[in-house]
Structures are given as C-alpha cells and as structure tokens.
Structure 1
Amino acid sequence: MTPDEIVIWHNPRCSKSRAALERIEARGLTPRVVRYLDTPPPAEEIARVAAAVGGARALIRKAEPEYKGLGLDDPAKDDDALVAAMAATPRLIERPVVLRGGRAVVGRPTEAIDTLL
C-alpha cells in the first residue's frame, strides 16, 4: 500500500459501505476495493487496523450473533482474542473501513472517512 493509496474494506450488501465508496468516488478518487468477506485480511493486518482505529473493540461488529455467541462481549477478552475472532469470522469486522497512509477509520458515520480524504 502506497502512502496515498486509499483502500476500503467493503461489503457491497451494506448501505453504509456503499455510501462510503460513493463518497470516495464523488471526490474523484479511485480506491482499491477489498471485499473482505471474500478475501479476509490476515490477523496481523486486522491487528494493525484495530490499533489505528482505537483498538479491536472499535473494529468489531457487536450486533453479529457470533459476538455474544463466542463470548466476545466478556470485558476480559483482550484485543488478541477479538482479532483472532475477526480473522476466523470476517463478518465480525465493522464496515466499512477506509485506510490511507497508515491511518484507518471506520466509516460510521460515513462522514468519518473525510478525515482521510
């Protein structure tokens, strides 16, 4: 990833993810689109992105059934456990995630990505 490259971890079935992609493209930018459910990022990359957004709890989707089913709502679960869960079950990764120049943001609300654009 080059310093100016924009990457979006995208789920085309998600309205927020589609809105984020449209917002990027409306600025005349062409991001590299990673359909993370089809091509899950490795745990090391998830950990790096989690650190950039404020920790694994900021990157994990708490509304997914697996979140409670795997006991991830237990405050004793550390970032390593959460990252391992997201690597094994990419549906647990919050969406969309936009990356640029070593920085990352979760696009909820969609306007949050403006800090990278």
Structure 2
Amino acid sequence: MITFYHNPRCSKSRQALNLLEEKGETIEVVRYLETPPSHQELKQVIELLGIAPIDLVRTQEEVWKTTYKNKNLSDEQIIDAMVQNPKLIERPIAIKGTHAIIGRPPQQVLDIL
C-alpha cells in the first residue's frame, strides 16, 4: 500500500499518481489540502524522507514569502507553518512502508516501488 499526498490541481501530482496507478499499486490518496496532516504526521513524513523540514516547504508560495521568509524559525515552527498552511507542503509525496519520496519530477515516485 502506498500513501500518496496529492493535490489534484497540480499537474505533477496527477502525473505521479497516474504512474503509480499504471503499475497496479494499491494507493491511499490523501488530499492534504482538504485533510491536512497533523504536526506529528508531518514530522514522521519528514523523517521518512530524510530531509530537514525547510526542504519540504514550497518557498515560492506567497504565504511563505509574506509570513515566514527571512525569519529564524525552528524546525518545529516550520512544521507548524506547513500544518497551518498545507499549500506550503511540497508535492506529491509517496510513502510505502518506511520509505518516502517526493515526486519531483513525477517519475521519481517509481523509485518507491
């Protein structure tokens, strides 16, 4: 089973989901803009990805630029920012077992198989 953090309005996210579906994978789609992850869930995803919280932030989003940019934020504060503003979360994210990957480019999600 693959958990897939998805934004259906994002073409890269749609492409990555299609690639996984073509492989016949069982997928649990999480529309994270409608059902944002909790702080703990997001922290676990970041740990599975093996990255720093800031590496999961879409820093070109307007809310980041106007509210958070150039502030000295702790990792916990960065995670809180993504929980409060889920559109800041880089997408898509595929998780299978103890492995996770960001689908940028979309073909990268196949590495989780």
Q: TM-score of the superposition, structure 2-length normalised?
A: 0.92
Q: Which residue of 2 aligns with 1:34?
A: 30
Report the alpha carbon displacement of residue 69 of structure 1 after superposing the two structures with TM. 1.3
Which secondary structure does the structure 2 equivalent of 1:94 belong to? coil
Q: Which residue of 2 aligns with 1:63?
A: 60
Aligned residues: CA RMSD: 1.2
Report the alpha carbon displacement of residue 73 of structure 1 after superposing the two structures with TM. 4.4
CA gap 1:108/1:73 in 2 versus in 1, 3 angstroms: farther
Distance across 2 between alignment mates of 1:48 and 1:73: 26
Report the alpha carbon displacement of residue 115 of structure 1 after superposing the two structures with TM. 1.7
Instruction: Determine what percentage of the aligned residue pairs are the same residue.
Output: 39
Q: Which residue of 1 aligns with 2:40?
A: 44
Report the alpha carbon displacement of residue 71 of structure 1 after superposing the two structures with TM. 2.0
Selected match of 1:96 from 92, 95, 101: 92
Unaligned runs of 5+ in 1: none
**Residue-by-residue CA offset, 1:88-110 (whole Å, 9 max, x unaligned):** 11111111011111221111111
Report the alpha carbon displacement of residue 50 of structure 1 after superposing the two structures with TM. 1.4
CA gap 1:99/1:72 in 2 versus in 1, 3 angstroms: farther
Unaligned runs of 5+ in 2: none
Q: Which residue of 2 aligns with 1:8?
A: 4
Report the alpha carbon displacement of residue 51 of structure 1 after superposing the two structures with TM. 2.2
Which secondary structure does the structure 2 equivalent of 1:69 belong to? helix
Tell me how many residue pairs correspond in the alignment.
Answer: 112
Distance across 1 between alignment mates of 2:62 and 2:98: 31
Distance across 2 between alignment mates of 1:28 and 1:35: 20
